[in-house]
A = this chain, B = another copy of it.
């Protein structure tokens, strides 16, 4: 599985970041495991090192990885991240649900609309 999909409307650095978030949160990459170097990953994905660097910067800001100057980028303590991320998503859903209620819209109906027009295997 390659992280970049040019059909995807998201910018490339977002896709790269999302790919590693997924690997980390699912436990496929373990704590303190080293990520590929910026240059090598840029080669592999045929993209610009700046784009990879931006993805890594985002991962660092959001607490997924830490960077050691001159050594590389490494996975942060991943154990708590998944449940934390899950709580965030549930929180966002509750916000949307409350907003829908305030506007007289049916939350279930919105959920149904969100499930149409996409692949759909959840």
Query: Which residues does A use to contact B, with CB under 8 Å?
Result: 11, 18-19, 21-22, 25-26, 31-32, 54, 57-58, 61, 68, 71, 74, 77, 82, 85-86, 89-90, 92-94, 96-108, 110-111, 113-115, 118, 122
Contacts and interface: CB of A to CB of B under 8 A. Distances in A.
B82 A107 contact: no
Contact of A32 (B18, B58, B99): B58
Given A31-B54, A71-B61, A86-B110, A122 B100 contact: yes
Contacts of A71: 61
Contacts of A118: 94, 97-98
A89 B93 contact: no
B77 A26 contact: no
B111 A93 contact: yes
Given A61-B68, A93-B93, A97-B118, 14 more contacts: A22-B102, A26-B104, A61-B61, A61-B74, A89-B96, A89-B110, A90-B114, A92-B96, A93-B114, A94-B114, A97-B114, A98-B118, A100-B122, A106-B122
